[in-house]
Each structure stands twice: as C-alpha cells, then as structure tokens.
Amino acid sequence: MVQEVNKSPKQSREGSPWKGLGAVIAKEMADHLTSARMRILEILIILTAAGTSYAALQKLVGSGSQNEFLYLELFTTAREPLPAFVGFLAFLVPLVAISLVFDAINGEFNQRTLSRVLSQPIYRDALLLGKFLGAFATLALVLTAIWLLVFGVGLIGLGVPPTGQEVARILLFLLVTVIYGGFWTALGLWFSTRFRQPATAALGSIAVWLFFTAFWEILVSLFAQGLRPIQYGLLEEVLARAKLEMFLSRISPNTLFVESTIALLKPAVRSLGLVLPFDLQGAILGAPLPVSQSLLMIWPHITGLLAVTIMIFALAYVSFQRQEIRV
C-alpha cells in the first residue's frame, strides 16, 4: 500500500499480502468457465483448431511430405484461404485474453462489489493478482485443451506417433503461447484498473492489439525508410535498414511470439536475424537444430515477453493500489 510518512515507519503492514489469493483465483476461474463469454470463445477456438488442423492435414497427406517433423507441420501449414494454426493463434490469443479481463476491476466497481470485497480481511494485492492468475489459468487451460485437440487430430490423421523431439517442441510452443497470452492478460487488467468503463477498457486493449497486428509493421517500414534511407544501394545501407527494421519490429509482442513459434516449430530455422552468405559457411542447409539450440535462439524473446508482462502488471498494481475505492 502507498504509505504516507507516518508515526512509525518501521512497522510494516501485518499479515501476508496473499491471504485470500486462493479464494479469488477459484472464484475467478469458476466465473470464467461458466460465463456466456467463455462459451462463445470456446466455439471460436474449437472451430479454429479443427478448421486449421483439418486443412493442414489435407495438404500434408495430399503432398506426401517427406519432412521428418510431420507433427510440427500440422501447426504451421496453411491452406488458402485459412492461415496456419500458429497464425490464427497470434491474433486469437490476445482477443481471448482481453475478453477475459477487460472488466476485471472496473466491473467490480460498477457492480459496487469492490468495497464489500476489500472490506474483507485481504489486501488489494490478493485481489489483483487473483484476477490476473484466474484469467491466466483459464487461458492456459483453454490453450492446453486446443493443443490437445490438434495433437489428437494429428494422431488420428497422420497415423504416426510423434517423436520425442516433436513432443518437446510443441510443449514449448504451448508454453510460449501461454506466456504470450499472459502479456495480453496483464495489459487488459491494467486498462481495467485505468478506465472506469469496461467498454473503454476493452476498446483500449483492442486498439493496442490492432495497432501491433495491423499497423506496427507499416510504421516500422516507414521509420526504417525515413531513418535509414538507401541512397547508393550499398550493402551497408541495406543492412542498416534491415537491422533497424528488425529491432523496431521486435518491440511488438506479436513479432516476438511469431518468431518464437517459427524457431520452435521449424527446426531447420537456425537464425531469426539476418543471415549473410558467410554465416552459412560450414552449415548443412536444411539440417534440423536440436531443441536446446532452438530454445537458445528464442530465449531473449521469451525473456522479453515475460519482462514486459511483469512491467505492465506492475503498472496495473500501482494504479490499483492508489485508487480510491469509494464509488
């Protein structure tokens, strides 16, 4: 809590900030899992999973692919007009996350339940973290369910069991997806403490999502063109622009997610950055990397996603702790 300079600064506040956390998480998850909102999302998600994996399956079986990582292709193969499963997730996960939390705090305000809940012997910390973890766990549950669904479709459709490598990679893929969802959950939660109207919070979160999904790439190339103009067509110029573009583009959590999934699901990818011909000296093209090496490649991405998630949660925390609860 925001403590003012008061008579006994040594004395810290009593008890654990996590008292009641379990109760809040349980209530939040129960609410989410039974809500009409969740039903709609579930239908959307199951359609996506079934649709994309079926489409991918058709294409894989039809092409007689020789790839040794058939299972992974199930996630990344697209058949027009549908995007691949990963592509779908990149924009579906934020939507699900936002729709779970956009009214988390302001909803309690508007229902006038906040002061009643906070007059119980718990701290605000427990309420906010409980809201976050409740939504996060729901999201993880849903994603795991879809993941299992696609996995099952693969088992039936492909008729071959996945190798240990593949299982490890798609498990990591699930983990990265959940972390990506965590970022949007934190963002939605922050907006729900900042804006008193749930509609404003939802719109704000969706605006951020739209910004990164649709406009960021355009802005990035505009910036890159403006800041690193190619005047003479030199290699250095081209490189400098590409580097700047990459740097800017990785500010977007979407880019971090998509690059991570590419590294995980396409074992042959050995760099997410620029690859110059001399980098490839001695490399066996098309040879897959071990899981640990792919993971190493996206380690900064995961760290970045986690860091920005924690940062945004901290913003939500500060804004919530400072809020006057009177209606």
Partner 1 sequence: MDYIIETKGLTKKYGEFTAVDSLNLQVEPGEIFGILGPNGAGKTTTILMLLGLTEPSSGEVNVMGFDPSRQPLSVKSQAGYIPDQVGFYDDLTARENLAYIARLNGIPRLESDQRIERALGKVGLSDVGSKPVGTFSRGMRQRLGVADVLIKQPRLIIMDEPTQGLDPELVRGFLDLTRELAEEGITILISSHLLHQVQEICDRVGLFHRGRMVLQGTVAELARNVLGAGYHVRLRANGKAGNFAEDLRRIAGVVDVKYQAPDSYTLVAAEDLRSEAARAIVEAGGQLLSLDIESLSLDDIYNAYFEEVNHGPRGQ
Contact residues for partner 1, defined by CB under 8 A? 1-4, 6, 8, 11, 13-15, 19-20, 22-24, 26-27, 31, 35, 111-123, 324-327
Alpha helix (H) residue ranges in 14-123: 21-34, 36-63, 70-76, 85-101, 104-110, 114-118
Comparing CB distances to partner 1, the nearer of 2 and 235 is 2
Side-chain-side CA neighbours of 91 within 13 Å: the count stands at 13
Is the alpha carbon torsion for 112, 115, 117, 123 positive or negative? Answer: positive
Minimum CB distance to partner 1, residue 165 (Å) = 44
Token pair 């809040």 is at which residue? 24
Minimum CB distance to partner 1, residue 196 (Å) = 15
CA separation for the pair 212, 25 (Å, rounded): 30
Comparing CB distances to partner 1, the nearer of 23 and 207 is 23
Minimum CB distance to partner 1, residue 1 (Å) = 7
Minimum CB distance to partner 1, residue 318 (Å) = 15
* First vs last C-alpha separation in the chain: 19
Minimum CB distance to partner 1, residue 115 (Å) = 4
Comparing CB distances to partner 1, the nearer of 165 and 323 is 323
Rg (CA), the chain: 23
Structure tokens at 111: 């229902």
Comparing CB distances to partner 1, the nearer of 47 and 325 is 325
Minimum CB distance to partner 1, residue 206 (Å) = 24
Minimum CB distance to partner 1, residue 142 (Å) = 20
CA separation for the pair 169, 263 (Å, rounded): 9
Q: Helix 36-63 crosses helix 85-101 at what angle (to 10 degrees)?
A: 170
CB of 314 within 8 A of CB of 132? no
- Determine if the peptide bond prior to 300 is cis (ω within 30°): no
Comparing CB distances to partner 1, the nearer of 58 and 120 is 120
Comparing CB distances to partner 1, the nearer of 26 and 47 is 26
Structure tokens at 110: 């508007």
Comparing CB distances to partner 1, the nearer of 173 and 320 is 320
CB of 100 within 8 A of CB of 132? no
Token pair 């980098």 is at which residue? 279
Quote the Cα angle for 88-93-99, to 5°.
130
Minimum CB distance to partner 1, residue 132 (Å) = 17
Comparing CB distances to partner 1, the nearer of 121 and 164 is 121
